Amino acid sequence: MALSHVSVNNYSALKGKFERIKKLDETPMSLRAENLNKALAEGGTVTKLDQLRVGIIEAYILADTIAKAFCVIDSVKQGQLIVYRTPAARQNMEFYKIANYNGKPIKGYTSQDKQAYAETYFISSDIIEIPKWNNIFTDNAAQQEDRANRDLAYSLEKYIDDDLTDLVDNQYVAAWRADTFQFQDTRVTGLPAGNIIDCSSEGEINLEVIKKILEHFIKLGRRVEAIYYPMDDIRNIWDWQAEPDTTSTGSLGKDLIPQYIQEQIWTSGVVKNLFGYPVNMVPCNTLASGTIKVIATPAKANDPAPRGAAFFWTVPMDSYVTDVPPVTGPMFRGLVMMMGMGMLALPQQCLNTARVDYK
């Protein structure tokens, strides 16, 4: 770009940058290394950036994902035991937990004091690299920090989601586990046999699938919070017909809906209520076609049953950003983010979720 086409302000900024680069080029390599070491020392610029990064990433990590949407989220202090006691707990009541990263759910039993114990364990992100040069001496520091924050958060999020998904998926059973109905009135009849709803004969997401979901949770005294369905099958929803449309045979269409519902689909792409009950249908790009996952909550506010499909605890972070040897070379700084967490799932929480197989 010719200087005649550069504004005064831009020219001043460019001139200042060129002068800084020229001064840096004239600096002996030994002095550059000394300055770099000072900046990386304890209490230096980079350490302060790490402290800021911790807060930012903690906010990222606690953002909603599909797995976390199924969990009750809480926190524990470092070194604190995770203990949960249900109002109607008994000794040797089975529950499931994950005790290490990428581990499968393992069965546990409540102790003599009728409490469920779970271990905290640590996971770490992938190694994220930042050029030391850009981080300290140039105008790209903000962009480098933002990229590092996002990459560290995304890496941790993947690993957390893997473990939570395994634990939640373990809650789907064809036949209820023992102690599932600790809080259910024995006079109630017509209860479902389990929380896997077979709609394979439908072959797509239609109103019959939604009716079976609502019927399942109404019988259990639950209110649907969200129905997560595959993004691949979003067209199934778009094809629902509004009155008075008919099929080619002249009979009423199977997926006939009121006009205002179709308008909601056309304008927002989301269905919030059907048949007088909340459904909150949410498309999800991590679910395979043919599978729906539903999260619900007890319909009555005073219901003593635990909420969610599982419990997820985090260990509040102080300074879990750790320097590690970079892969690329000495001019890069390697960063790893660690996080402590724990999780367990009770048999009673199976009532709050369901899996629907419609293919």
Q: Is the pLDDT of residue 359 over 70?
A: yes
> How many domains does the chain contain in total?
2
Residues 163 and 288 in one domain: no
Q: Is residue 11 domain-resident?
A: no
Q: Report pLDDT digits (tens) over 99-156.
A: 887 778 999 888 877 888 888 888 888 888 877 765 455 546 667 777 788 888 888 8
Which pLDDT score is estimated for 330? Answer: 77
Residues in the chain: 359
Residues 249 and 318 in one domain: no
Q: Is residue 247 domain-resident?
A: yes
Which pLDDT score is estimated for 22? Answer: 45
Which pLDDT score is estimated for 209? Answer: 95
3-state secondary structure of 44: coil
Residues 45 and 149 in one domain: yes
Q: Is residue 255 domain-resident?
A: yes
With a pLDDT cut of 70, the percent of the chain lying above it is 73
Q: Is residue 66 domain-resident?
A: yes
Q: Is residue 191 domain-resident?
A: no
Q: Which of 43-52, 68-77, 299-308 has the lowest mean pLDDT?
A: 43-52
Split at pLDDT 50, 70, 90, the class of 55 is low
Residues 142 and 210 in one domain: no
Residues 158 and 47 in one domain: yes
Q: Which of 43-52, 240-249, 305-314 has the lowest mean pLDDT?
A: 43-52
Which pLDDT score is estimated for 7? Answer: 37
Q: Is residue 179 domain-resident?
A: no
Q: Bigger pLDDT: 328 or 205? A: 205
Residues 153 and 37 in one domain: yes
Question: Cα(142)–Cα(53) distance, rounded to whole angstroms?
Answer: 12
Q: Report pLDDT digits (tens) over 236-284.
A: 988 887 766 455 444 445 668 888 888 888 888 778 888 889 999 999 9
Angle at 236 between CA 234 and CA 242, to 5 degrees: 120
The neighbour count for residue 229, using CB atoms within 10 Å, is: 26
Closest CA to 223 of 337, 121, 305: 305
Residues 164 and 258 in one domain: no
Predicted model pTM = 0.76
Residues 288 and 322 in one domain: no
Q: Which of 21-25, 163-167, 295-299, 346-350 has the lowest mean pLDDT?
A: 21-25
Q: Which of 53-67, 141-155, 162-176 has the lowest mean pLDDT?
A: 53-67
Residue with tokens 């778009």: 238
3-state secondary structure of 119: coil
Task: Give the end-to-end CA distance of the chain in Å, rounded to a whole number.
Answer: 59
Mean residue pLDDT across the chain: 78
Please report how many Cα atoms fall inside a 13 Å half-sphere around the Cα of residue 321, on the Cβ side: 24
Residues 219 and 338 in one domain: no
Check residue 246 and report its DSSP letter: B
Q: Report pLDDT digits (tens) over 5-38.
A: 333 344 444 444 445 444 444 545 555 455 545 5
Q: Is residue 184 domain-resident?
A: no
Which pLDDT score is estimated for 42? Answer: 45
Question: Cα(139)–Cα(143) distance, rounded to whole angstroms?
Answer: 9
Which pLDDT score is estimated for 20? Answer: 47
Percent of the chain that is helix, strand, coil (3-state, to 5): 35, 25, 40
Question: Cα(149)–Cα(55) distance, rounded to whole angstroms?
Answer: 10
Residues 138 and 221 in one domain: no
Q: Is residue 323 domain-resident?
A: yes
CATH of the domain at 148: 3.30.2400
Q: Which of 245-249, 286-290, 322-326 has the lowest mean pLDDT?
A: 245-249
Q: What is the DSSP track for 185-229? A: -TT-----S-SEEE-TTT-S--HHHHHHHHHHHHHTTEEEEEEEE
Question: Cα(117)–Cα(108) distance, rounded to whole angstroms?
Answer: 8
CA 179 remoteness from chain centre: 28
Alpha-carbon radius of gyration of the chain: 27
Residues 297 and 330 in one domain: no
Q: Could you tell me if 282 and 226 are in contact, meaning their C-beta atoms sit under 8 angstroms apart?
A: yes
Residues 93 and 154 in one domain: yes
Which pLDDT score is estimated for 88? Answer: 65
Q: Which residues form the domain of 47?
A: 28-170+313-347
